[in-house]
Structure 1
Amino acid sequence: MVKKRVRDPEVLAEAPQVQDEDSGSDTNMDVVDVEFEWFNFKPDIDFHGLKALLRQLLDVDSQLFDLSALTDLILSQPTVGSTVKVDGEDTDAYAFLTVLNMHEHREKGTIKGMIQYVLEKSKGNQSLAAVGNVLSSSAQVGLVLTERLINAPSEISPPMYSMLIDELEAAVEDKEPYEFTHYLILSKTYREIASVLDQEDTPRSKKTKAAKGSSEIFYFHPEDEVLQRYALAYGTYEYTKDEGEGMADSKRAFQEMGIKPQGSMILIEADKFEGAVKAISEYISPQQ
């Protein structure tokens, strides 16, 4: 059985609350204790769950990539990166984190396509100019991919990043190709936009219309805010594929505004990555 290079699986003390509504007007709130466990990737178990998480991470632009090939590449390096599960190792992951050597795998179709995609998205965006410059050089760039189910707590993220640091150190000691000069975190953010459903000239619709085009950025992954403090470059970009009018309304999440997801890149120099990971642990700690 493949084991973690270091650290035994850890457990979070408390999971997010889940809401149980009865037929009356009262609402009962129950707290469900969930034990999260960290595992290495297991190819014969994790393929479909990991592929689904990659599709969620890349959003509509997931159609541009061979997700099966990308999933296989991740699973081919089982001792670098983690999955997070609840009901044991032989179940689907709630979350994952890994890093791929973009230089080492540059001739593989899935990474070649990823490099072209990143270069295209960094063009014309001054905040992401350094990303294109680094990828066009001989730099050893580690592509960090991480995603979790929408209801998974952010507290599972710090242990994954901390384990990754330890695993990379062990891999380098074993002469494996994980000695990076930079880390590129591919993530996503969103903006709130006015709903196309609110057409009447009511106070509510006036409010949402006034907010249309807001530039405020919100984070699916709160740790991205911390990582940006250590970044050589970071920024957002529009997806290539069009969701179509009305898709933002389907993602309203029971609020007045619709949301428009965007891609996000964070480029961090290797000598600052460990400090960024420590800052994540300080910023996001398990609930007491």
Structure 2
Amino acid sequence: MASSRKKRAEDDIENKEEMNNVEDDFDEAGSGDELMDQQMEVEFEARMPQDSDFHGIKTLLQQLFLKANVNLSELTNTIISQNYIGNAIKQLNDDDEDDDSENGFDDGDPVFGIMSAINLTERQNDLACVREIISWLSEKCESAGEDGRKIFEVLNNKECHVGLLISERFLNIPIEIAAPSYESLRKDMTKANKKNMNYNFGYYVLISKCYRARVEGGDSLLNNQMFYSNPEDEILNEVSIVSVSFSVAKERDNIVGGSWDDDDDSMEAMRSVMVFTADKYDSIIQTLKTQLAT
């Protein structure tokens, strides 16, 4: 099993160099004030999710769904079970590179990010968590007028398969990881389709963590002042055929790896549901590469 996992990591993750040597100002818990202004050079690598990543992946999903009635344990196990697509982002341990363990990773290492896709159309037949996600999104979009109805129609479209994109990571993980993560997922889905697995989507749905700014000294919100936890989500929003945002302020964010100050009333925690057609996926990758080119 270890050798097959290592081969998968070597064969399927072709963007390793793009994810390596990224400067990150991630402040480790308990590191002390003397490290707060220092930069750490960290190497990340994407590899197939595995059983030992369960708690790390579930924690990342919790920062997205908060108190939503979604079985996150089942969703996490689903992501791990379909580990032939997507990847978990972990820190490369140079000291273990020559070990026979999982491609240089220790099972106790934290998961810094997760990238995957779930077939909402197909898996709602056998997964309660998928039915719960569809129900939750439908309820949140119900009061959003015409845009909400469009999202409801896409989620319940039986003729065209819909993929839920899972793109979660620590706030301090740099955006440079976004393009290779999306590209790697694209290649994985293409390979899966060739093996008669159904990842041939007509639409993609992304649930984005975002924040809206309040007017200084007032309670009203500036609708055009939206800030995305994952900056690339702004690009996805621009190519979306429809998007709906709703507040999760009452559920309070406890975001892994950083958060807005709990005492800062100038920002309201939001979620934005975006839908874009599958033919936009490749152009999104190219846009990410162009805008992030140094």
Q: Percent identity?
A: 24
CA distance in structure 1 between the partners assigned to 2:23 and 2:122 by the alignment: 38
CA distance in structure 1 between the partners assigned to 2:73 and 2:26 by the alignment: 33
How do 1:44-55 and structure 2 match up within 5 A?
A: 45-55=52-62
CA distance in structure 2 between the partners assigned to 1:34 and 1:93 by the alignment: 14
Aligned residue-pair number: 262
1:56 maps to 63
Contact 1:18–1:30 under 8 Å retained in 2: no
Q: Note the C-alpha offset of 1:21.
A: 4.4
* Distance 1:266-1:94 versus aligned 2 partners, 3 A rule: same
Q: Note the C-alpha offset of 1:271.
A: 1.3
Q: Note the C-alpha offset of 1:124.
A: 2.6
Match of 1:112 among 131, 150, 158: 131
2:157 maps to 137
SS in 2 for 1:38: strand
State the Cα RMSD in Å: 2.7
When the two structures are superposed, what TM-score results if normalisation uses the length of structure 1?
0.82
CA distance in structure 2 between the partners assigned to 1:104 and 1:136 by the alignment: 11
Structure 1 letter corresponding to 2:207:
L
Q: Render the CA deviation track for 1:234-284: whole Å, top value 9, x for unaligned.
A: 121233x8337x99xx95439965422111111111111111122122223
1:237 equivalent to 2:246? Answer yes
Structure 2 letter corresponding to 1:218:
F
1:7 equivalent to 2:46? Answer no
1:224 maps to 233
Structure 1 letter corresponding to 2:20:
L
Q: Note the C-alpha offset of 1:223.
A: 0.5
Contact 2:247–2:268 under 8 Å retained in 1: no
SS in 2 for 1:209: coil
CA distance in structure 2 between the partners assigned to 1:28 and 1:106 by the alignment: 45
CA distance in structure 2 between the partners assigned to 1:99 and 1:123 by the alignment: 24
1:271 equivalent to 2:289? Answer no
How do 1:196-215 and structure 2 match up within 5 A?
A: 208-210=216-218, 212-215=220-223
1:160 equivalent to 2:169? Answer no
2:73 maps to 68
Match of 1:122 among 141, 144, 155: 141
Structure 1 letter corresponding to 2:122:
E
Deviating more after overlay: 222-231 vs 125-134: 125-134
1:188 maps to 209
Which structure is higher in helix share?
A: 2
CA distance in structure 2 between the partners assigned to 1:58 and 1:214 by the alignment: 24
Contact 2:208–2:228 under 8 Å retained in 1: no
* Distance 1:28-1:102 versus aligned 2 partners, 3 A rule: closer
Q: Note the C-alpha offset of 1:218.
A: 0.9
CA distance in structure 2 between the partners assigned to 1:254 and 1:32 by the alignment: 26
Q: Give unmatched runs, 5+ long, in structure 1.
A: 195-207
Contact 2:134–2:155 under 8 Å retained in 1: yes
Q: Give unmatched runs, 5+ long, in structure 2.
A: 94-103
Contact 1:161–1:277 under 8 Å retained in 2: yes
CA distance in structure 2 between the partners assigned to 1:252 and 1:186 by the alignment: 19
Q: Note the C-alpha offset of 1:136.
A: 2.1
CA distance in structure 2 between the partners assigned to 1:69 and 1:49 by the alignment: 14
Contact 1:130–1:232 under 8 Å retained in 2: no
